Amino acid sequence: MSQSFKNFINGKWVESKSGQTFENRNPANWNELIGLFPKSSKEDVDDAVKAARKAFEKWRLVPAPARGDVMRKLGDLLVKRKEEIARAMTREMGKVLAETRGDVQEGIDTAYYAAGEGRRLFGKTVPSELPNKFAMAIRVPIGVAGIITPWNFPMAIPTWKMFPAILSGNTVIFKPAQDTPNTARMLVETMAESGLPDGVVNIVFGTGGEVGRAIVTHPDVDLISFTGSTLVGKQISKDASDTLKRVSLELGGKNAQIVMDDADLDLALEGVLWGAFGTTGQRCTATSRLILHDKVYDKFLSMLVDRTKKLRLGDGLLATTDVGPVVNEAQRKNVQQYVEIGKSEGATLVAGGNIVSANGTLGGWFHEPTIFADVTPEMRVAKEEIFGPVLSVLRATSLEDAVTKLNNTVYGLSSSVYTRDVNKAFEAIRDIQAGITYINAATIGAEAHLPFGGVKQTGNGHREGGWTVYDFFTEWKAVYVDYSGKLQRAQIDNY
């Protein structure tokens, strides 16, 4: 009999008022049922928001260094559970164990970074224009944060959002993706164990249309942090505008790796294999396009096709597996539709392209790593996010041509350039329209202490990670202390 799980509201695991559930299954073996999770309702969201609002009034008064101490303990607990959580994550979303271990480690890094920020929520002091008057700006928490996250990084992305929110003195309502509720449950379970007071963290499982929208439109939720598709992000922005919520959107990408004619081709090969087919291409920073200089195009493409065909599909828990499944049937159908689109547009299929049952035994959602050559900039496979193991290869005659082709999308998240020429590297850094640029490294591999986010339709300008995320989760308050003992009128009495 499958295990049933509950929401976590006000420090207790509670049944959903809807009485409905949804299944959580293993994408590498769809016959394996992991558990049943609540298909929650707007009423459950109301309960969670009430708990978070009540908890906020006390949590905001806890000194930030003391909140940091809780984050440090949470990091320690995650270290102890790292392998357990990583294996559970692979079971429910498919990526190989080395990657899920990295996913948990990013959560650990974020916890420890947040712990330090408890002593670094810096304000500013500035001189007043009037005598005997002190002027400063301080950070204050905002209130209740709604956190809505995707399935591809079910530990890292929620921690990017929740840990800074909580460290800043806010409380949270967390709605994880339906494909990865178990990792989210384990994370919240660990957060509760760390000593957070009741109501500071609440998790409500369910659909985006019901639970997600209820969080976004709730009048007592003060800010929303969302990672997911650009289409959904635009709708959230519209819905949240009715109550003038602060909204952070981290959305799609169509990232490209440029390989110049002077590049270390072996190094570039490792980068594109990792970038395109790590997490089965299911990363917002995945390498979806490869732009090759004309002089190395044929040689590098041959190297790439040869290595790609040797990649082994299978269950991510097995040491022999290089590439796991896509997350669900709908996602695999989407990938296959883009394969057909690429063919119809005239791109040359040089590797993969097929739905497979790995090793002929597993009943999961597997798709071969796929490469299209002879792709032109206006093809849909060169412009639209696929979110699967499909790589489009374009040709360039110069760095300027390559950068122009890289910039030719509505997205601007991550980018990569392989070259030995330092001048070309800095030109690329200057001219590429992206929130992240790697030199001689893959388009994936963001570190927890640097800003993460993109330009154009990749988001709405906010950044996660590092010190910049604290700008989103805090409000600035200007403070003036006049100790002159008389009325002093700025801009009037001093001029």
CA distance 56 to 51: 9
| Beta strands at 366-367 and 355-356: parallel, antiparallel or unpaired | antiparallel
- Residue 476: count of CB within 10 angstroms of its CB: 11
Question: Is there a catalytic annotation at residue 250?
Answer: yes
Tokens of 384: 């639209």
Degrees, nearest 5: CA angle 131-137-141 = 150
Instruction: Give helix 97-117 / helix 156-167 axis angle, nearest 10°.
Output: 10
HEC sequence for the chain: CCCECCEEECCEEECCCCCCEEEEEECCEEEEEEEEEECCCHHHHHHHHHHHHHHHHHHCCCCHHHHHHHHHHHHHHHHHHHHHHHHHHHHHHCCCHHHHHHHHHHHHHHHHHHHHHCCCCCCEEEECCCCCEEEEEEEEECCEEEEECCCCCCCHHHHHHHHHHHHCCCEEEEECCCCCHHHHHHHHHHHHHCCCCCCCEEECCCCHHHHHHHHHHCCCCCEEEEECCHHHHHHHHHHHHCCCCEEEEECCCCEEEEECCCCCHHHHHHHHHHHHHHHHHCCCCCEEEEEEECCCHHHHHHHHHHHHCCCCECCCCCCCCCECCCCCHHHHHHHHHHHHHHHHHCCEEEECCCEECHHHCCCCCEECCEEEECCCCCCHHHHCCCCCCEEEEEEECCHHHHHHHHCCCCCCCEEEEECCCHHHHHHHHHHCCCCEEEECCCCCCCCCCCCECCCHHHECCCCECCCCHHHHHEEEEEEEEECCCCCCCCCCCCC
Which residue in the list 99, 210, 284, 385 is annotated as catalytic?
Answer: 284
Of 106, 210, 250, 368, the catalytic one is 250
Identify whether the C-beta of residue 25 lies closer than 8 Å to the C-beta of residue 91.
no
Active-site residues: which are they? 250, 284
